[in-house]
Amino acid sequence: MKIVVCVKHVPDTTATLEIAPNQKTIETEDLEWVMNPYDEYAVEEAVRLKERFGGEVTVLSLGDEEAENIVLTALAMGADRGIILQPEEPITDPYLIAKVLAGKLSEMEFDIVLFGKRSIDYNNHQVGTMVAELLGIPSVSSVNKLEILDGKVRARREIEGGAAEIVEVEMPVVITAEKDLNQPRYVSFRGLALARRKPIEYEDVEVEGEEGLEIEKLEYPPEKKPGRIVGEGPEAVPLLVKLLREEAKVI
C-alpha cells in the first residue's frame, strides 16, 4: 500500500505568542515548533497501515526549514521518506496550500493520503478535503476509526450529539484525522537519530494565485479579568448561586 501523509509545523501549544510590529505576523524567533497535533494521528495511522499491509509511507510538508524537524519526527515514527516543498514566501491561504499539495500529489502514486483534520495555528480546517476535491478523489474528514475491508476503506466520523457515521469509499482516498484515531507512538532520541539516515527531498515550489484570505491585522483577545473566589467549601454554594442568578444572570 502506498501512503502519503501531509504534516505541518505549528508553534508549541504552550508557547506565548507575540505579534510582530507589522501587526500581521507573529514573532517566530525563539519559538518552539511541533508537529500539528492532529497530524500526529495521521502519521501514526499511516505507519500502522504500512505495518499491516506492507508498502511505503511518504511524508509531505509545505514549509520552511522548520518543517524539517517534524518530517524527521514522522520518519522516526516509521515513515520511509520525506518531501519538503519550499515556497518562496510563506503562505497561509488554505486554498493555495491545497493547490500546491495537490499539484505534488498528482505526480505521485498513492492509495491513501492522510491529513490532520485541522491545523491549530490558523485553524483553517479545510486543506485535506480541498486536496481530495482538487485531485478528484473521494474523502472522509474527521475520522476517528479507520478499517480496510476487501480493498475498501471504512471510516467512522463523529457528528454532533454523540452520533457517528460510518462511510465506505474506494481507494485512492483522502482521510483527515480526528483525535482518538489512535495513540501516536513515542519518539525516542535514538529513533530521531536513526531517522536522519532516511531520505528527505527538498523542492522549490512556485505558488500561483493571490491570497483570497488576507490577514490585515492581528490582535490579542481582550484580557479576561480573573474573577473572584466566592468562598471555600460547600458553605460558599448559596452565595455562588445568588451571584449566578442576580449578578451574572445566567441561571
Partner 1 sequence: MGGILVFAEQRDGEFRRVAFEAVSEARRLKERIGGPVAALLIGHNVGGLTETLGRYGAEKLYVADHEFLARYSGEAYRNIFLDAIERMKPSMIVVGSTAMGRDLVPRIAAKLGVPAAMEVTEIIVEDGVVRVKRPIQMGKIIATYRLRSEPYIIVIRPNTFPVEELEEPVSPAVEVIDASKHIEGVRDRVVDFVAAEKKMMDLTEAPVIVSGGRGLGGPEPFKMLWELAELLGGTVGASRAAVDAGWISHDHQVGLTGKIVSPNLYIAVGISGQIQHKVGCINSKVIVAINKDPEAPIFEFADYGIVGDLFEVVPRLIEEIKKLKQSKS
Ligand X SMILES: Nc1ncnc2c1ncn2[C@@H]1O[C@H](COP(=O)(O)O)[C@@H](O)[C@H]1O
Ligand Y SMILES: Cc1cc2nc3c(=O)[nH]c(=O)nc-3n(C[C@H](O)[C@H](O)[C@H](O)COP(=O)(O)OP(=O)(O)OC[C@H]3O[C@@H](n4cnc5c(N)ncnc54)[C@H](O)[C@@H]3O)c2cc1C
Q: Whose Cβ is closer to ligand Y: residue 37's or residue 191's?
A: 37
Picking from 183, 185, 118, 186, the residue whose alpha carbon sits closest to that of residue 145 is 183
| Nearest distance from C-beta of residue 37 to ligand Y, angstroms | 4
| Nearest distance from C-beta of residue 58 to ligand X, angstroms | 12
| Residue 13 found at the interface with ligand Y (CB under 6 A) | yes
Supply the angle between the helices 67-77 and 37-53 in degrees, to the nearest 10: 30
Q: What are residue 109's phi and psi, to 5 degrees?
A: -105, 135
The interface partner of residue 234, options being ligand Y, ligand X, partner 1, none and the CB cut-off 5 to 8 Å by kind, is partner 1
Q: What are residue 112's phi and psi, to 5 degrees?
A: -135, 140
Do 72 and 196 touch, CB atoms closer than 8 A? yes
Do 57 and 46 touch, CB atoms closer than 8 A? yes
Do 80 and 113 touch, CB atoms closer than 8 A? no
- Please name the helix (run of DSSP H) or strand (run of DSSP E) that holds residue 194, with its range, or none: helix 189-195
Candidate list 33, 39, 105, 173; residue touching ligand X; CB under 6 A: 39
| Residue 168 found at the interface with partner 1 (CB under 8 A) | yes
Beta-carbon contacts of residue 134 (< 8 Å; ≥ 6 apart): 98, 99, 102
The interface partner of residue 145, options being ligand Y, ligand X, partner 1, none and the CB cut-off 5 to 8 Å by kind, is none
Q: Whose Cβ is closer to ligand X: residue 12's or residue 245's?
A: 12
| Residue 37 found at the interface with ligand Y (CB under 6 A) | yes
Q: Whose Cβ is closer to ligand Y: residue 214's or residue 232's?
A: 232
| Residue 6 found at the interface with ligand X (CB under 6 A) | yes
| Nearest distance from C-beta of residue 216 to ligand X, angstroms | 19
User: Which one of 57-65, 81-89, 106-114, 126-134 is the stretch in contact with partner 1 (CB under 8 A)?
Assistant: 126-134
Beta-carbon contacts of residue 133 (< 8 Å; ≥ 6 apart): 139
| Residue 35 found at the interface with partner 1 (CB under 8 A) | no
- The partner residues of 61 in beta bridges, in order of sequence, read 84
| Residue 7 found at the interface with partner 1 (CB under 8 A) | no
Candidate list 3, 4, 35, 38; residue touching ligand X; CB under 6 A: 38
Alpha helix segments (H runs only) across 8-119: 37-53, 67-77, 94-105
**Dihedral angle at the C-alpha atoms of 64, 66, 70, 73, nearest 10 degrees?**
130
| Nearest distance from C-beta of residue 54 to partner 1, angstroms | 25
Q: Which residues bind ligand X (CB under 6 A)?
A: 6-8, 36, 38-39, 42, 61-63, 94, 97, 101, 115-116, 118-119, 122, 124-128
Q: Which residues bind ligand Y (CB under 6 A)?
A: 13, 37
